[in-house]
């Protein structure tokens, strides 16, 4: 990191700053300017508090060089992480397609969705059993019954399952069925939940919070990694902006950026990202070109009757058509589907 001092710093302040830095284990290289000192401090600053250094008398600015997310950073692991789920590998040269309804509503609905998406070539079945709804009066999910239906659909189709864990007390139950645990946007900074899934040895898909910066998102991944679970998949699902024409603003630049900052696989959810069925296919294709390792898509056998998110769900013919189009797009991005 680089420390720039205030103008005409006193010898006493300089000595105090240098002592603090050397006590913290840094090697110092100081450039003496006409008015200020520029101190290059070589060492790992990730465990120290930059703001505490900035408040030392005589310090004007502290400029970090290393990222604060040590384990998630691509610096320490230039090759991309591949997360294995049964025969599926996320983060390799295959574009991974996760699809299914927003919520498991009943056995028939999920079986229809599961067999339909499997026939179209999807790799992983999604479906919420515990739903984070804005209203406490809205459908909250079938919960344990939903998990049992998901397990049945896995047995029937062979597709691994991704489903959301909403609360810490349900973690054990959800983890017993899920092949991938989904941490929803609203829980991205539920640090207790992040630490708890970090203690498992099971893949976790971490959605970006709707108001989270890329750095905050990666720091949340760091919570999971720091507990020893390296199988983390990031998911961009749209952020809140001034724009109200779409449900969220799908931040595809964050996808291209995250791929440079971290070795973790990044997938995109254009369903929540746009909130509009007509926008799902174009944004899915754009996500692949932006470098996404996969997509997570809401697909319902009859969107007009869905208990949640019907307006952003594809029906099975629309999903099948998108899968067809994605073949050429994936190839353009150097991936296969
Ligand atoms: C979902 O995947 O159905 C969901 C609730 O997503 P998010 O957490 O991104 O809103
Ligand atoms: Mn949904």
Q: What is the pLDDT of residue 46?
A: 67
Q: Are 98 and 88 in contact (CB under 8 A)?
A: no
Whether residue 272 has its Cβ less than 6 Å from ligand 1: yes
Q: Nearest 5°: CA angle at 73, between 49 and 255?
A: 115
Residues 6+ apart with CB under 8 A from 135: none
What pTM was estimated for this model as a whole?
0.92
* Ligand 2: centre distance to CA 306 (Å): 10
For 251-294, what is each residue's pLDDT tens digit?
A: 999 999 999 999 999 999 999 999 999 999 999 999 999 999 99
* Residue tagged 């899934």 (tokens): 197
Residue 50 has pLDDT above 90, yes or no: no
Are the C-beta atoms of residues 105 and 142 closer than 8 Å to each other?
yes
Q: Which ligand is nearest to the CA of 313?
A: 2
* pLDDT (0 to 100) of residue 67: 86
Compute the average pLDDT of residues 84-93: 97
Give CA–CA dist 172/200, Å, rounded: 10
pLDDT band at 66 (very low <50, low <70, confident <90, very high): confident
Predicted local confidence at residue 65, as pLDDT: 83
Contact 201, 180 (CB under 8 A): no
Structure tokens at 278: 């007509």
Average pLDDT over the chain, rounded to whole?
96
- Our answer on whether the CB atom of 299 is closer than 6 Å to any ligand 1 atom is no
Binning pLDDT at 50, 70 and 90, where does residue 326 land? very high
Atom of ligand 1 nearest to the CA of 308: 3
In the chain, what are the domain boundaries?
A: 2-64, 83-332
More confident residue, 53 or 81: 81
**pLDDT, tens digit, for every residue of 141-194?**
999 999 999 999 999 999 999 999 999 999 999 999 999 999 999 999 999 999
Over range 315-320, report the average pLDDT: 98
CA distance 274 to 252: 12
Third-level CATH fold of 83-332: TIM Barrel (3.20.20)
Q: Among candidates 113, 106, 101, 108, which has minimal Cα distance to 146?
A: 106
Given a cut of 80, whether residue 45 has pLDDT beyond it is no
Give percent of the chain with pLDDT exceeding 90: 92
- Name the residue with the closest Cα to ligand 1, atom 8: 184
Please give the number of the atom of ligand 1 that sits closest to the Cα of 186: 8
- For the chain, what is the HEC assignment? CEEEECCCCCHHHHHHHHHHHHHCCCEEEEEECCCCEEEEEECCHHHCCHHHHHCCCCEEEEECCCCCCCCCEHHHCCCCCCEEECCEEECCCECEEEEECCECCCHHHHHHHHHHHHHCCCCEEECECCCCCCCCCCCCCCCHHHHHHHHHHHHHHCCCEEEECCCHHHHHHHHHHCCEEEECHHHCCCHHHHHHHHCCCCCEEEECCCCCCHHHHHHHHHHHHHCCCCCEEEEECCECCCCCCCCCECCHHHHHHHHHHECCCEEECHHHHHCCHHHHHHHHHHHHHCCCCEEEEEECCCHHHCCCCHHHCECHHHHHHHHHHHHHHHHHCCCEC
Distance between CA atoms of 5 and 28, rounded to whole angstroms? 14
Q: Which ligand is nearest to the CA of 132?
A: 1
Distance of CA 337 from the midpoint of ligand 1 (Å): 24
Report the C-alpha gap between 180 and 160 in whole angstroms: 8
Give the architecture-level CATH label for domain 2-64.
2-Layer Sandwich (3.30)
pLDDT at 120 over 90: yes
Which has the higher per-residue pLDDT, 80 or 1? 80
CA of 185 to the centre of ligand 1 (A): 6
Share of the chain above pLDDT 70, in %: 99
């Amino acid at each position: 990191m680089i420390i720039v001092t205030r103008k005409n710093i006193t010898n006493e302040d300089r000595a105090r700053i240098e002592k603090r830095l050397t006590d913290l284990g840094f090697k110092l290289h100081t450039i003496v300017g006409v008015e200020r000192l520029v101190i290059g401090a070589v060492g790992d600053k990730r465990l120290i508090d930059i703001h505490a250094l900035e408040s030392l008398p005589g310090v004007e600015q502290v400029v970090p060089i290393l990222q604060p997310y040590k384990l998630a950073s691509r610096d320490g692991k230039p090759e991309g992480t591949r997360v294995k789920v049964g025969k599926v590998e996320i983060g390799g040269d295959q574009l991974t397609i996760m699809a299914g309804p927003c919520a498991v509503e009943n056995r028939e609905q999920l079986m229809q969705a599961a067999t339909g998406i499997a026939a179209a070539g999807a790799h992983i079945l999604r479906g919420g059993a515990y739903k984070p709804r804005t209203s406490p009066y809205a459908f909250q999910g079938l919960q344990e019954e939903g998990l049992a239906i998901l397990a049945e659909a896995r047995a029937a189709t062979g597709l691994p399952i991704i489903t959301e864990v909403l609360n810490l007390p349900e973690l054990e139950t959800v983890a017993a069925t899920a092949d991938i645990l989904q941490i929803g946007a609203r829980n991205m900074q539920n640090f207790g939940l992040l630490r708890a899934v970090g203690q498992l040895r099971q893949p976790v898909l971490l959605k970006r919070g709707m108001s989270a910066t890329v750095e905050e998102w990666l720091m949340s991944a760091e919570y999971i990694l720091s507990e020893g679970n390296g199988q983390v998949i990031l998911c961009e699902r749209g952020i809140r902006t001034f724009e109200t024409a779409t449900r969220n603003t799908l931040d595809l630049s964050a996808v291209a950026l995250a791929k440079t900052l971290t070795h973790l696989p990044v997938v995109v959810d254009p369903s929540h990202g746009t909130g509009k069925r007509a926008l799902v296919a174009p944004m899915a294709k754009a996500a692949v070109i932006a470098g996404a390792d996969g997509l997570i898509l809401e697909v319902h056998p009859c969107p007009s009757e869905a208990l949640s998110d019907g307006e952003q769900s594809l029906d099975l013919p629309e999903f099948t058509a998108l899968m067809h189009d994605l073949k050429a797009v994936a190839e353009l991005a150097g991936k296969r589907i």
